[in-house]
Amino acid sequence: MKTPLGLLILQNTLLDRFKNRLEKEKHKDGFTLDYFIFGDIKPVSRSDLARKMDYFIRLSGVSRITPHGLRHSHASFLIKSKIDDSLIAERLEHTVQS
């Protein structure tokens, strides 16, 4: 079950990168906050997403992984880091079964 509000929790390093990019981009002609956050009006296609993932996988030198596999790896990382189950469930938009 998903939580009613899908919030994205960002690590400080990623948040800092977004803030720095916002500072650079907001002065450009035609800038809008909606475009900065959501991008173009059309949704990203599966092939575009796959192409971008492949590019960054090659760039980083890590093994190939699917978006769903990345989600599982993230969950495993949180579990191994001894993060509370309820926080992991919230982050993954699941409910904790008791």
How many C-beta atoms surround the C-beta of residue 65 within 10 A? 13
pLDDT reported for residue 96: 67
Q: Who contacts 63 (Cβ-Cβ below 8 Å, separation ≥6)?
A: 57
The backbone torsions φ and ψ at residue 52, rounded to the nearest 5 degrees and listed phi first, read: -65, -40
Residue ranges for the chain with pLDDT beneath 70 = 1-10, 39-42, 96, 98
pLDDT reported for residue 8: 62
- Running DSSP on this structure, what letter comes out for residue 62? P
